[in-house]
Amino acid sequence: MRQDFIKFPLHLIVHPFDSFWDMKYEGKGKLRVTLTILLLVVISMILKDQFAGFLVNYNDPRHLNSIVQLFTVVFPFFLWCLSNWAITTLMDGEGKFKEIMMATGYALVPIVIIYTPMVVASRFMAEEETAFYYLMMSVASIWFIGLLFVGIMTVHQYTVLKTVVTMLLTVVVMGIVVFLGTLVLSMLQQITEFFINIYRELIFRT
Amino acid sequence: MIAKKWLLAGTVASLLLSCAAPAPVHAEAVPYESYNYNYWEEAVPAPAAYIPDRTLTGKDLGVGDFLDPADMVVADSGLIYIVDTGNARIICLDSSWRVDKVITGFDNAGKEETFKNPSGLYVNDEGNLFVADTDNGRIVVLSPDGELLRMIEQPESDILPADFKFIPVKVTVDQAERVYVIAKGIFEGIMQFDENGVFIGYVGTNKVKRDYTEYIWRMFSTKAQKAQMALFVPTEFSNIDVDDKGFLYATNIDPGSKEPVKRLNPSGEDVLKRFGYFDVLGDIRYRMSVGPSKFTDIKVLPDGRYSALDANQGKVFTYNDEGDLLYVYGGKGNQTGTFKIPAAIEYAAGSQLVLDRGKGNIVVFKPTRFGSIVNEAVGYHYNGEDAQAVPVWKEVLKLNANYDIAYIGIGKSLLMEKNNKEAMKYFKLGLDRDGYSVAFKRYRREVMQEHFGTFLTSVMLLAAVWIAYRIFGFWRRKRQSRASRQAPHNLKEGNAHEAGFH
């Protein structure tokens, strides 16, 4: 328990090359840990928007919505995994879908461990000190991207250049998926409307 | 019978009571929307600050209808001057709206002269009239009695082009008797003349904004196309006013400008304070059909406030000296209190007067309770009497709990009194992050000073406990290891002994 949930993720964020290797070939890392991390990311995002100090919190409290925040984290996560899986299947990636999910999920750990303490710290900051808050927020993002890069590279056994290209392509595929999704949804809507209209016609005719 | 009597009495009593009960209090209905912008740039309804009190036309005054009146000035003496452009006359009213005199012309060394399309006027401290006699191309200076003192005509200077034609539109004079003139077709700024009418130079040129799309477009255009394009020229000023420190307030009508209002210091730099949540440019949210605000006149009010008149929407925007929007009133329409073509705004004894060129009338706006207490509080704050402003701001908040400036005002006063914790609360309500930061820093230092001893003691105590724990652990481990080192020995011995025994 402690090994899976605490020790391995913490070891991973400082030793990404070894740990992602272990994850792929030694069977370390668990899907339920990934999902827990995802949940923690959502919670830390909500905490940040709700409780970050007044001087760094520019959110309009009337428009805060935790459900929306849940989807703004969870939906892109799965979209990324799906798109990456789709593109790497075509580009000789060795990773399985599960491995992609785990690599992405474990890469999110720095966000959890930096955001929450910074939210607490930001409540004790004056305006000059908020630069430190923004610095740490950027560190979290850069760390995340670095880990994601190493993760994808190890999982698929790619070269550096190929990883970069794949990641960029993944973003493009994400856009295409969203486009197709909206297209299908709107067509479905029109089809249902069409059938509903036929049904209405039939009912009112008789 | 008795029951009937009682019933009747009851009916009468109830009727009387219903009549005696005070009529439901109506908010005094105004034909325009009153609002203010909040931190998130949303227009939030607010109580009306000014309501139309009366309307005066030329007929009401007994001088015949105004024809395209272009300017209006209230002198320090309380006299009100109206430039009736179409009729080429200046009407002078006393403070109770009786006609004092009508100036149609003046005596120029025995020759009777008249104005031609005058469109600007200024009255200085001594009561001398400076008339921008537009189509005659001159500034006429008259004494309070209407005698000609001097004239400023076609200026001569090396920096002026040879075919230059002087067409003054608006005029203002500062304490040093320098004359500032806005002239037609002059893009270089406001023309400045010394007390003898000699042209000195320009002040406060509007900056040319470079539009990058236009710039790129230009790169691909032919010479003929370029010639047809609009030139990059600065915009003209629309009006000027001068405050009691000798700073010029000027408005321009550049449609895309972020700085339609300028406060120019004597060397011509813009020193307007813009510390509000948003720029000093009138409406920040508008429909494209209505367009951004286009200021045609500006009036400096007491206590650092100033009102700008928006001709596009017929609204008056009033700001305090720090650039916070205080209130908005007016609108376009045909009712009393709305305008057709508003041309000039003035201030007389607490009321604001707006001259409507289209309708040819003057509307007098008097402050409501809300307007007057906002003015009062702004005045206290401007004069540094923040403590006195607090009860007034609290009164303002009773009338409009969405008035952010009041929260900030109270916060500032509390900050002065070193009541930092309360100040933090009010700054937070007013969403003033800078003020909050200052208050918070002081509060944090206070708390630290108060609790530093306790904090340090507990840290020392914790450290002592931790060290003790480590020493104890070390000692125990040492003893254990010694014991375990001995134990196998004994065991071996024991085993051997046992083995040997068997």
Count other C-beta atoms under 10 Å from residue B372's C-beta: 15
Q: How confident is the model at residue B287 (pLDDT cuts 50, 70, 90)?
A: confident
Please tell me what DSSP assigns to residue B278. Answer: S
Place of tokens 């109206």: B82
3-state secondary structure of A202: helix
B40 touches chain A (CB under 8 A): yes
- pLDDT less than 70: residues of chain A: 206
CA distances from B378 to B34, B35, B320 (A): 19, 18, 7
Say if the Cβ atoms of B433 and A55 lie within 8 Å. yes
Q: Which residue of A has its CA nearest to B442?
A: A126
Q: Which residue of A has its CA nearest to B425?
A: A54
Closest in B40, B434, B441 to A60, CB measured? B40
CA A58 to chain B, closest CA, distance in angstroms equals 10
Q: How confident is the model at residue B108 (pLDDT cuts 50, 70, 90)?
A: confident
pLDDT, tens only, B317-370: 999 988 889 999 988 888 888 888 898 999 888 889 999 888 888 999 999 999
* Weakest-pLDDT range from B305-309, B439-443, B478-482: B478-482
CA A44 to chain B, closest CA, distance in angstroms equals 24
Say if the Cβ atoms of B444 and A127 lie within 8 Å. no
Whether B26 has a pLDDT exceeding 50, the answer reads no
* A→B interface, C-beta within 8 Å: 54-55, 60, 124, 126-128
Average of pLDDT values for B77-87? 87
Tokens linked to A166: 């794949």
Q: How confident is the model at residue B21 (pLDDT cuts 50, 70, 90)?
A: very low
ipTM (interface pTM): 0.81
Say if the Cβ atoms of B444 and A60 lie within 8 Å. no
pLDDT, tens only, B208-262: 666 777 778 878 888 888 777 766 666 678 888 888 888 889 888 877 777 888 8
pLDDT, tens only, B208-222: 666 777 778 878 888
Say if the Cβ atoms of B433 and A60 lie within 8 Å. no
Q: Which residue of B has its CA nearest to A57?
A: B433
pLDDT, tens only, B396-418: 999 999 898 999 999 999 998 88
Q: What is the DSSP string of B200-260?
A: EEEE-PPPPPP-HHHHHHHHT--HHHHHHSPP--PPPEEEEEE-TTSPEEEEE--TT-S-S
d(CA A130, CA A52): 11
Percentage of residues in chain B having pLDDT higher than 90: 18
d(CA B502, CA B497): 9
Closest in B40, B428, B441 to A126, CB measured? B441
